[in-house]
Amino acid sequence: MRVTRVLHNDVVKTCMIDNGALVAIERALGGVPEPWEVALAEGDGFTGVGQLPPRDVIHLGFADPSLVLGAEDNFSSQPQSRKTGLAAMRPAAIEPFRRSDPSEDVWIIPRDPRSVAVPGHPIVRPLECEKLDLGVTLAVVTGPGGTVAGYSVGIDVIRRDVPVEHAYLARSYPSHLQLDSALCSPTELDAADTIELTLSIDGEERQHCSMSDLVVQPATLLASIDRRYRLAGGEVILMGTPPGTALDRGDGWLTDGATVVAAITGIGELRTHVVAATT
């Protein structure tokens, strides 16, 4: 099942996408549910209340998260660690308290939720930024208690021109998290070894990797995060991006006008482009 949110006659509505048609859905007792609630429940307990003409809606995307966390170093084929700053250190004072847990080697960095782009909004290159990088990522939307409510395709944009010590700031510029407008139910995802993530820029494939290459799969990573931070429903967790970024290659930074296409098998395809900031 695929779910999205739209604005129709100045009213926010959650819709099921059925063979391309938008069907508004409500709770059985009335009221508009959150997209993640519908995706998690596979529509059970919700009622279709009519089809919406595509021309009359504005797509809002499925997510309005209060929290966005991104993983780094979560692909085993990654040639070298992307950890920087404190994440790359192992201070002696806290070393005795470390656990032997693969999920703790995955770097978790927040993004500003305001960096999530409205569907259709391009990637904005800050005027002074000459090293703008990106990667395809599986975006996981949480249910209560760290459960997986749904999946989507994401493009994670990172400034490489800022100091490596500014890991959070480098990942939080407006428009730098692009998400597909549709959220897929967890059951849409097949076995990890059949799922491939790809990203191309102007037709040149830059990333192509199997989801089986993930060091930590979504359910395990969410459980690890939820041990320390109680995840609410509707938050966004990015599973990391595979090898092939401009950082990995040493060249291929984003340029104005570039067309970017990211795809994940069974989940969807996200197409966007790059524009220069106007101020």
Partner 1 sequence: MKLVTAADADGRTFPGIYDAGGIVDLSQHGFATALDVISADASTLVPIVDTGGDVMTDATLKMPLVPRRIIGTGTNYRSHVAEMGGTEPQRPTANFIKLPNSYAAAGDDIEIPPFCLLDYEAEIAIVIGTEVSHADSDAAYQAIFGLCLANDLSARDAPTTHLSLAKSGNGFCPIGPWITTTDELDVADIAFELLVNGELRQDSNSSDMIHSMVDIVASFSHSLPLHPGDVILTGSPSGVGVGQNPPVFLAPGDIVEIRSPQLGTMANRLVSPATVEGKP
Q: Which residues bind partner 1 (CB under 8 A)?
A: 66-67, 69, 83-87, 89-95, 97-99, 104-110, 112, 128, 159, 162-163, 165-170, 172-173, 225, 228-230
How near is the Cβ of 91 to partner 1 at its closest, in Å?
A: 4
Per the listing, tokens 């191309």 go with 200
CA distances from 54 to 11, 59, 244 (A): 15, 9, 36
* Calpha distance 222→236 (Å, rounded): 10
The answer to whether the beta carbons of residues 149 and 40 sit under 8 Å apart is yes
The Cα–Cα gap between 177 and 159 comes to: 12
**Which residue lies nearer to partner 1 by CB, 55 or 228?**
228
Largest CA distance in the chain: 61
Tokens found for residue 203: 């037709």
d(CA 265, CA 231): 27
CB of 134 to partner 1, least distance (A): 17
User: CA 132: distance to chain centroid?
Assistant: 18
Q: Nearer Cβ to partner 1, position 105 or 188?
A: 105
8 Å CB contact between 150 and 36: yes
**How far apart are CB 109 and partner 1 at their closest, in Å?**
7
Closest separation between CB of residue 96 and partner 1, Å? Answer: 8
Our CB check for partner 1 shows the closer of 27 and 160 to be 160
Q: How far is the CB of 199 from partner 1 (least distance, A)?
A: 24
Given the complex with partner 1, which of 214 and 262 has the nearer CB atom?
Answer: 214
Q: Quick one: 55 or 99, whose CB is closer to partner 1?
A: 99
